[in-house]
Each structure stands twice: as structure tokens, then as C-alpha cells.
Amino acid sequence: MQRTAIKTITILLLVVLSMGLFSLVGLAAEVPPDTTQSEEIISLPDADVPLAYHQPGIYSWSILNLILVGASNVLAVLLLLDYFGRHTRRDKGRPTLRIVAFGLAVAAILLFVITEDTRMLLVLTNRWTVIYAINFVLVGAIAGFAMRAGLQQEEASSKADEDE
């Protein structure tokens, strides 16, 4: 009972103190306008807005490459989690496709670290985007084949269990 009362009082004190500090800040911000200055209006010319244009000689890195690498790795990790979650100790199956997909995903990470300098200009695509897209398509195709093979193997084992 005493602890809850102490906690309540502490919270109320913190609220009151914070409200007091905010009101002090508000009072300090209200500065009367200085009327001694002349009211000369200065107009500035419109400046051209710099555009982020990618020129061929300038190094850059691509956000689409980062997205493709991340998606490939998510697919590969989901494949491995599915493999270890679906198979029991006695029936491990063959994880060859899943290991290949994981290897491609790790290779994509290494390629990104080697080829992309994130301190440079950010663009949507660059010369490496095609390679990352091919890698993503390969990992996606492997994921499809591996999931289909896993489902077929699961159906075959369930049919064998029903026949016994």
C-alpha cells in the first residue's frame, strides 16, 4: 500500500515539475519584438535546385541492390527454418537445394559489401543490379523447388503412414 502511494506521489511530482519547466521555457521564448530596426525588405533571387543526377563516372550505390540482397537472405533463412522445423531427427531428407540457396544469399551479402560503397551517392539502380536480380530469381526458384519437394516428401510419408 505504501509503495503504490509513494509511486503515485512520485509520478505526480514529476508531472508537476515537467509542467513547470515547460511553462518556464514558454515564458523565456516570448521576447518582445525589437522596434528600433528599420523595416527594409530584402528579396533573394531564386536559386536553381540541385538534382541528384547519376553521371557514369561518379561512384554510387543502389538501394534496390540492398533490397534484393535482403529479400534473398530472408528467403534463404526461411528455407532453412522450414527444413529444420519440418523434418524430424530420424528423417532429415536432403537439404541440398536449401544449402545452395543459403550459399547464394551469403554470396550476395559478400558481393554487396565488396561492390557497394554506402558513403557515395544513393541511386535506384546501378551496374550491379542485374546480378543481384539474377541472384534473387535463383534463390526464389530454389525456394519454390525446395518447398515443393518438401511438400511432396511430406505427402509421401503421410501416405506411407496411413498404409501401415
- The pLDDT assigned to 17 comes to 55
- The pLDDT assigned to 55 comes to 60
Backbone angles phi, psi at 60, to 5 degrees: -155, 170
CB contact burial 6-44 (16+ within 10 A = b; e otherwise): eeeeeeeeeeeeeeeeeeeeeeeeeeeeeeeeeeeeeee
- The pLDDT assigned to 60 comes to 82
- The pLDDT assigned to 83 comes to 79
Give the residue, 102 or 46, on which the prediction is more confident.
Answer: 102
The residues, any chain, with a CB within 8 Å of residue 100's CB and separated by 6 or more, are: 142
Q: What is the pLDDT of residues 70-90, one digit of tens each?
A: 999 999 998 888 878 766 555
- The pLDDT assigned to 40 comes to 76
Q: Rounded to an integer, what distance in angstroms lies between the CA atom of residue 45 and that of residue 60? A: 32
Q: Are 116 and 62 in contact (CB under 8 A)?
A: yes
Angle (deg, nearest 10), helices 96-115 and 129-163: 160
Reduced to 3 states (helix: H, G, I; strand: E, B; else coil), residue 61 is: strand
For the cut 50, the answer to whether the pLDDT of residue 9 exceeds it is yes
Nearest of 37, 51, 73, 72 to residue 123 by alpha carbon: 51
- The pLDDT assigned to 135 comes to 96
Structural element, H or E, at residue 158:
helix 129-163
Backbone angles phi, psi at 151, to 5 degrees: -65, -40
For the cut 80, the answer to whether the pLDDT of residue 99 exceeds it is yes
- Domain segments of the chain as ranges: 60-163
- The pLDDT assigned to 24 comes to 47
Place of cell 500500500: 1
Q: Rounded to an integer, what distance in angstroms lies between the CA atom of residue 66 and that of residue 72? A: 10
Q: What is the pLDDT of residues 11-59, one digit of tens each?
A: 665 665 555 545 544 554 555 556 566 677 777 777 776 555 556 656 7
